[in-house]
Structure 1
């Protein structure tokens, strides 16, 4: 009280904060109070119901008290159990007036992530953890014009080097040829061929490819414990390139029909001069009698 006036100052209780209106009520010389218009609302985290969908997209609800645009800063850090030296870090910013928000990130497979979102107006942060699963590898290669199938294998960025291999299959064409790209593998990522005529001619750890490496079918060398035997003259073959990634009990693979050899002629080149193929085939069925017709056309 002072100078014949009385003043009351209002404050929101703990857990609430003032939002609009006057926090002062004055009783003047007339003896009437001018009422305070203060409104108290519950304090809520600016980022609520944070979740990760499809192992890459963040969803959250924005708790805002005004219609103003909010700026969010998103940071993520990833690590891998089987690769101690691996770290994946990234930052994103998003400005929006919306109440329901979504932001998709480029998260890598088989990685443990910690993701934080900060609302810059309040500097409050919400954090969530997520684990991404194994995905089918991509086959990267470059092909050359040679008398026998030759290509240059290439590593892709951020590949799963330590848990991935390339496998080269030779399938002699005898009627109908069945090849299951999703066939399970044993320890060391090797495969058992159902038919004695089919065989793996090479298995190459992706980590050993470095930037790139050349590989020719039938060069008489050993690759991953498999003998790259020369092709027999006068026989027809399919050459299949398979990429396999395996972590614990989960396996993912993708295949490309790389080449078709008729007799001693390399008659079909599946790729263009530079190709990146990822074909998740459950079963690749090759009709040998039909495929080896005029000009080596596709089945």
Structure 2
């Protein structure tokens, strides 16, 4: 019969077989540090000092165990083994006299429920912090059974350990003294705030407040940029901190992806992963488009798209504002959205005599960005004359006085400021000038020695602010221009030239009217006013005589 292993040695053998790398090097893995890693054990009752993640060759650790157990051996040393470094022995915690030693691994294979006379323990009685390492198809365990359990990794940190169903005070009860689970700080995506350039991630502990025994590490690592041409801005510096239970990452690039990770480092349980996720940053406000050209003849604006590093360009917003220095009440505003595929804009029409400010802003999901601005002024055009004013209204031709009454109205300054109204008189039989020849006429005063077209008057626009009448041929001299009386029986053409003048540029428009100097004759069937007056007087006289006759005949005679 071969030698029988002591329970502690048997447990050590089981642990060596269960823990990868505890008895031999793990194939395919290289030790990055010329020394030993921390002790790997599932026995939650085992602890050691000093605490570190790596240990130098020859360094010794002092071992301790939970109450009721003692370490075997009491210390371990980091030594060099075949192709690796490791501890000289695998330590275990051995029960002291009077305590039970955990048996070898209990098979998780399904089997009939145990009905040990001493009673049993139920899985429903486990603390909420633990779960079985391997699945068991039974809910109860007999007194004396041991089960490998671990802390629920989603909420707790701790090493795997044995728990046993023991009888205490005559009742079956789970002994979990060898398992220590520490609740992790809670981190959830609901506590994440991400803008275009920063990330804020908060976590909390239970009870609310500081997290005793924990320190924190976190980082935001760039994993993807929105475009291969995007580079980190030279003046932007990434800063990361974990203060007040919050991860702060500032100076991040918009529309980029960052791998966010948070670790909690516990004094006993080491580093624990609390949060890990890829976060896509919000789009930023785009830069201004780049100016390309302005076609002054057609007023076509062209630009180049801004960098896509702050987000995908969804389109462009064109804002147009028109004002006039000579008319403070004038305001033209327009907003146009242009597709992202277009990089030019032409407004139809551009109003004459207007100062325009045009801005172009690229659009991302964050909204409109910085402005590309144009300032330009359109030239004035020929004054606008409404269709209803194309013919002068001529009234009261007086051949005897040599005058004609004209009705004038102020015209709108749609194409430029109206400066003055010029009246010309062209006597016939010379060829009458038409409106097309009007702009070339000179302000020539009246000359009685010839029959050429002359200027009768110049009316400043400031004097014609509402409808008014003007008498052609009234014989008055106005600023060197004589308004000569017209001759009876002659044919005339009166021309009105409307002049617009701005910034040393002058334009004009004209209307004309032909007439003959003779008194107006009554229409056929029309009764002169004097005849009507005489007839009315005769009727009234007859009525008066009839009334007197009636009064006389009704008065009695006195003899």
Is the Cα contact below 8 Å between 1:57 and 1:104 reproduced in 2?
Answer: no
1:93 paired residue number: 335
Is the Cα contact below 8 Å between 1:234 and 1:262 reproduced in 2?
Answer: yes
Is the Cα contact below 8 Å between 1:73 and 1:119 reproduced in 2?
Answer: no
C-alpha RMSD of matched pairs (Å): 4.8
Match of 1:181 among 404, 420, 438: 438
Is the Cα contact below 8 Å between 1:74 and 1:92 reproduced in 2?
Answer: yes
User: Does 2:377 align with 1:131?
Assistant: yes
Deviation of 1:210 (Å): 0.6
Match of 1:153 among 401, 404, 408: 408
Within 5 Å, give how 1:210-289 maps onto structure 2.
210-223=465-478, 225-247=480-502, 249-257=504-512, 259-264=513-518
SS at match of 1:207: helix
How many residues end up aligned between the 2 structures?
250
2:71 paired residue number: none
Match of 1:14 among 219, 233, 238: 233
Deviation of 1:204 (Å): 0.9
Give, in whole Å, the separation in 1 of the partners of 2:425 and 2:219.
Answer: 93
Deviation of 1:252 (Å): 1.6
Higher strand proportion (structure 1 or 2): 1
Give, in whole Å, the separation in 1 of the partners of 2:232 and 2:333.
Answer: 37
1:102 paired residue number: 346
Of the structure 1 ranges 100-109 and 89-98, higher mean CA displacement relative to structure 2 is found in 100-109
Query: Which gives a bigger RCO, structure 1 or 2 (Cα 8 Å, sep 6+)?
Result: 1
Is the Cα contact below 8 Å between 2:317 and 2:360 reproduced in 1?
Answer: no
Give, in whole Å, the separation in 2 of the partners of 1:59 and 1:156.
Answer: 36
Is the Cα contact below 8 Å between 2:489 and 2:518 reproduced in 1?
Answer: yes
Deviation of 1:192 (Å): 6.3
User: Does 2:171 align with 1:171?
Assistant: no
Would the alpha carbon gap of residues 112 and 70 (structure 1) be closer, same or farther in structure 2, given more than 3 Å must change?
closer
Would the alpha carbon gap of residues 21 and 56 (structure 1) be closer, same or farther in structure 2, given more than 3 Å must change?
closer
Deviation of 1:14 (Å): 1.5
Gap regions ≥5 residues in structure 2 = 1-217, 226-230, 237-251, 262-277, 398-403, 521-559
User: Does 2:459 align with 1:204?
Assistant: yes
Gap regions ≥5 residues in structure 1 = 1-5, 27-34, 267-299
Is the Cα contact below 8 Å between 1:77 and 1:89 reproduced in 2?
Answer: yes
Q: Could you give the per-residue CA deviations for residues 186-237 of structure 1, whole angstroms, max 9, x where no partner exists?
A: xxxx446896532112211122101222223223444554333331001111
Deviation of 1:126 (Å): 1.9
Deviation of 1:56 (Å): 6.1
Deviation of 1:92 (Å): 1.7
SS at match of 1:252: strand
Would the alpha carbon gap of residues 218 and 242 (structure 1) be closer, same or farther in structure 2, given more than 3 Å must change?
same
Quick check: which has more Rg, 1 or 2?
Answer: 2
